[in-house]
Amino acid sequence: MSFDTRILTGVGVLAAVAETGNFARAADVLGLTPSGVSRAIARLEVRIGIRLFDRSPRAVTLTDEGRRFHAQIMPLLASIEEAATDAAGAAATVSGKLRINVDPWFARMVLAPRLPAFLARYPQVSIDLLVSNHREDKMAGVDVAVRFGPADGGSLIVRKLLDTRVLTCAAPTYLGRYGTPQSPHDLLHHEALLFRDPQTGRPFEWEFSKDGQAIDVDVRGRMTTDDPTTAIEACAAGHGIFQSLALGLDAWLRRGELVQILSEWSTERYPLYAYLPSRRLPPAKVRVFLDFIVEAVAASAP
Residues 27-75 have pLDDT tens digits of 887 888 888 888 888 888 888 888 888 887 777 888 888 888 888 877 7
- CB crowding 100-124: b at 16 or more within 10 Å, else e: bbbbebbbbbbbeeeeeebeeebee
What CATH number should be reported for the domain holding residue 174? 3.40.190.290
* Residue pLDDT, tens place only, 154-183: 677 888 888 888 899 999 999 999 999 999
Same domain? 175 vs 83: no
Residue in 279, 277, 274 with CA at minimum distance from that of residue 292? 274
Please tell me the total count of domains within the chain. 2
Domain residues for the domain of 156 are 97-301
Same domain? 31 vs 10: yes
Which residue positions in the chain have pLDDT lower than 70? 1-6, 79, 81-92, 135-137, 153-154, 278-281, 299-302
Q: In terms of C-beta density within 10 A (0-12 exposed, 13-18 middle, 19 or more buried), how is residue 65 classed?
A: middle
Same domain? 127 vs 258: yes
Distances (CA, A) of 5 to 2, 13, 17, 200, 252: 9, 14, 20, 44, 56
With contact defined as beta carbons under 8 Å apart, do 98 and 125 qualify? yes
